């Protein structure tokens, strides 16, 4: 079947641009039925010290809402930072991953080796050769305390211009209770980082306490957004 006045290449380009069922939504014009949630997030992020926690069932669009809100509220010269949690993730791993987002991926994996030099005692090669050094790496160290974790975020904010928004997704995958407790302690201290640093946390749950064992102070800092499945008319 052909469409008049549209070439096959143009048709493919239109499909690729407008039909993206496997991609996360990043812009509000594609986020149908969630305007009231975007408004709630906007008001919260314009309140000093307020952070966001989006929770609900699997597949309701938590990540899309969080990422869209993050793009709206991040400084114009930078993109938000997105870090998904894994089954074996710990608090330190996640904060380290946030820090590593400030380092170019090529630099992290291909930093020049150290210790490379000449070897003057290799007879088979004319009396000299080159010894390979140890492959280098460039990464943010994993924090061992809450204070160190806060310093990692301060470093990240210093490397960015304008507001920094960090999305921590899939928090339900963190299995260990003690690691969730560390997140609750960290959240309690986020306001000390200033108003230009904001976090949006996401996870599958019917109640935010399932994910955080929330410290009372952490609960006061969080604006909780319970996301339900879209009604048919919104879809």
pLDDT in tens, 170-189: 999 999 999 999 999 999 99
**What does the pLDDT average to over 90-96?**
96
Residue 162 structure tokens: 């304008």
List residues bridging with 202 in a β-sheet: 54
Place of tokens 């870090």: 83
For 28-62, give the DSSP string: GGG-TT-HHHHHHHHHHHTSTT-EEEEEESTTSSH
Give CA separation, 179 vs 93, 99, 182, 209, in Å. 10, 18, 5, 14
- Residue that wins the pLDDT comparison between 87 and 213: 87
pLDDT, residue 227, reads 86
Asked whether the predicted pLDDT for residue 191 surpasses 50, the reply is yes
Task: Output DSSP code: residue 90.
Answer: -
pTM exceeds 0.85 for this model: no
pLDDT, residue 37, reads 87
Domains of the chain and CATH, by start? 27-102+114-227 (3.40.50.300)
Q: What is the rounded CA–CA span in Å between residue 128 and residue 34?
A: 68
Handedness of CA 29, 72, 38, 230 (dihedral sign): positive
């Amino acid at each position: 079947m052909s469409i008049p006045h549209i070439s096959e290449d143009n048709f493919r380009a239109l499909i690729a641009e407008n039909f993206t069922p496997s991609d996360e939504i990043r812009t509000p014009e594609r986020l149908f039925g969630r305007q009231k949630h975007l408004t709630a997030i906007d008001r919260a992020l314009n309140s000093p010290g307020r952070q966001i926690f989006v929770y609900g069932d699997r597949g309701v669009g938590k990540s899309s809402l969080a990422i869209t809100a993050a793009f709206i509220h991040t400084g114009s010269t930078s993109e938000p930072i997105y870090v998904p949690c894994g089954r074996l993730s710990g608090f330190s791993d996640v904060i380290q991953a946030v820090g590593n987002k400030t380092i170019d991926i090529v630099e992290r994996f291909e930093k020049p080796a150290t210790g490379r030099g000449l070897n003057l005692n290799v007879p088979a090669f004319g009396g000299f050769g080159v010894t390979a050094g140890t492959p280098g790496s460039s990464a943010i160290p994993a924090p061992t305390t809450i204070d160190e974790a806060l310093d990692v975020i301060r470093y990240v904010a210093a490397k960015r211009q304008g507001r920094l928004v960090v999305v921590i997704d899939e928090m339900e995958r963190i299995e260990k209770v003690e690691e969730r407790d560390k997140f609750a302690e960290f959240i309690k201290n986020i306001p000390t980082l200033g108003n230009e640093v904001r976090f949006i946390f996401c996870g599958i749950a019917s109640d935010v306490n399932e994910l955080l064992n929330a410290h009372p102070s952490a609960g006061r800092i969080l604006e909780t957004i319970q996301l339900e499945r879209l009604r048919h008319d919104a879809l």
